Amino acid sequence: MTPIRRQVESVRAAYGSLPRGLRQHVARVAREARDLAARWDADPDRAELAAWGHDLFRAHPPAEQLRLATEAGLPITEADRREPVLLHGPIAAVVLRERFLLTDDEVLAAVRDHTLGAPAMPLLAKIILLADKFEPRKRRRDPVLREIRRLARRDLDTALLCWADWKWVQERTFGWASHPAHWEARQRWVAEHHLDRAMPPILPLDSSDPDSLPE
């Protein structure tokens, strides 16, 4: 067994005492992440490791998540205090590094940022965030997520931005608050999507074109 497979099995074993539904969700995310990683020339084993790590603390009560985040020295915003479940990714990243001795920075970033995203994300983090959002049970519940999954197989960054737009619509529809960290990430993704350097160069008008003449 390779070192990374040993890490996968070690983290996976930590789910033994967690709710069955959570274990099933994470297993679905792991399969989705492996598939997406293979399509984007990323290491499926590293993707599976991040998938098993991402929800280690998802089932913990809010007060416990706040306590663990404080003990880990994580920054806690007012938005986090209102919705402590948003801290489960950052907490898991700290525990994976300190308790499981995981040193893969991209795996840790994928675990940390899988809920809200971040302005700059490595490939693996994008894969885990999207796999978590459109794993089979979730996309059966919402057809939009099926379309985002289809897009992710052709254009990962645009799929990420479409998910952020869908999330924004959900928040406006149901009156949910937008977390400042997610909003910052979304603004960065939008800006990068529309960068002039990503578009064909603007050519000067031909001198014979009437529109090039002064009025």
Task: Please tell me which residue, 206 or 19, carries the higher pLDDT value.
Answer: 19
Per-residue pLDDT reduced to its tens digit, 143-154: 999 999 999 999
Per-residue pLDDT reduced to its tens digit, 116-170: 999 999 999 999 999 999 999 999 999 999 999 999 999 999 999 999 999 999 9
- Our CA angle for 113, 116, 119, nearest 5°, is 75
pTM: 0.88
For residue 213, pLDDT over 50 is answered with no
Burial of 48 (0-12, 13-18, 19+ CB in 10 A): buried
Which tokens is 183 given?
């909003």
Residue 47's pLDDT is what? 98
Per-residue pLDDT reduced to its tens digit, 195-209: 744 555 544 544 554
Residue 212's pLDDT is what? 42
Give the Cα separation of 149 and 102 in Å (integer): 29
Domain coordinates in residue numbering, the chain: 3-197
Which CATH number is 3-197 given?
A: 1.10.3210.10
